[in-house]
Amino acid sequence: LWKMCSWSWWVVEMIDQIKRSFAIAKKDMLIFYLKGPVVIMGLLFPFFLFLAFLIGRNLPQDRLFVGLTAMTAFFTSTAVGPTIIPWECRGRTFERLITAPVSLTTVLLGDFQASLYFGLAITFTIAVPAMLYFSLGLEWAIFITATLLAVGTFSAMTVLLSSYPPTDVPADVMMLTSLVKFSLLFISGIFVPLENLPSYGRLVSYVSPLTYYVDALRHSLGEGYLPLWVDFGMLVLFGIAFFFAGVAVHKRVLEKRFT
């Protein structure tokens, strides 16, 4: 009892769980990054969606940069996470994973990291050359902070999206995930800036975490509608809420995955 009440014991235990979650993330990266749905939804789909956003519209370069970066971050960081647990349930590897000396929270933290690393790698790979091509002056501190927070928030959202329904069919989860993602995308201010929306449209857009990332990206270019601290604060709040809500739902439906 004395050992468990010691701060040093809790620190050592936390570090140990983080190491185990990274091992799970490494396993996810090796297995799931090249899966067909991940490549389609994480790479090909945002590319063609951006083309549809671009073609036939005489948009300024800053709007194009914000749209490209936001869609890339949103779709890449939400492509991996929702399908990991259904695939593992189908392959009967999830049962072995939760019987290992790790908590369910640690397993989900590993899945979160897999989405995070995928989203960050692809987003920076595309956004930096795009910024150079468009010759935009960027506030790098704001851009990097906003992207880290946003990709973390979107990755945490996949923890919640993968929690229900408790199925071993990835298509079932992908269908629900696509419905949520497209709903959030089209109310986020990518296609119509917040200041051009009617008052009821702005109220609806505040439901989407992507709205705050889009606005933070505009701040990195010297403009923005909401205060920057609101954008950052809401991304943090959304990320925390998504992750812990996802953990709670996963714990509630855990037994149903094996029935």
Question: So what's the pLDDT on residue 2?
Answer: 46
DSSP-assigned states of every residue in 163-203: TSS--S-HHHHHHHHHHHHHHHHHTTTSSS-GGGS-HHHHH
Question: So what's the pLDDT on residue 259?
Answer: 66
Mean pLDDT computed over 162-173: 75
Instruction: Give every CB contact of residue 35 below 8 A, 6+ residues apart in sequence.
Output: 83, 87
Token pair listed for 67? 């749209």
pTM: 0.88
Highest mean pLDDT among 74-83, 131-140, 171-180, 223-232: 223-232
pLDDT-derived band of residue 5, with 50, 70 and 90 as boundaries? low
pLDDT-derived band of residue 113, with 50, 70 and 90 as boundaries? very high
Express each pLDDT in 183-240 by its tens digit: 888 888 888 888 888 888 888 999 999 999 999 999 988 888 889 999 999 999 999 9
Question: So what's the pLDDT on residue 56?
Answer: 67
Instruction: Give every CB contact of residue 220 below 8 A, 6+ residues apart in sequence.
Output: 138, 139, 140, 142, 143, 146
- In the chain, what are the domain boundaries? 2-258
Mean pLDDT computed over 82-107: 80
Q: Among 128-132, 170-174, 211-215, which stretch is predicted with the lowest mean pLDDT?
A: 170-174
Higher pLDDT, 52 or 76: 76
Give the CA angle between residues 182, 161, 245 to the nearest 5°. 125
Within a 10 A sphere around the Cβ of 48, how many other Cβ atoms?
A: 9
Distance CA 39, CA 47 (A): 11
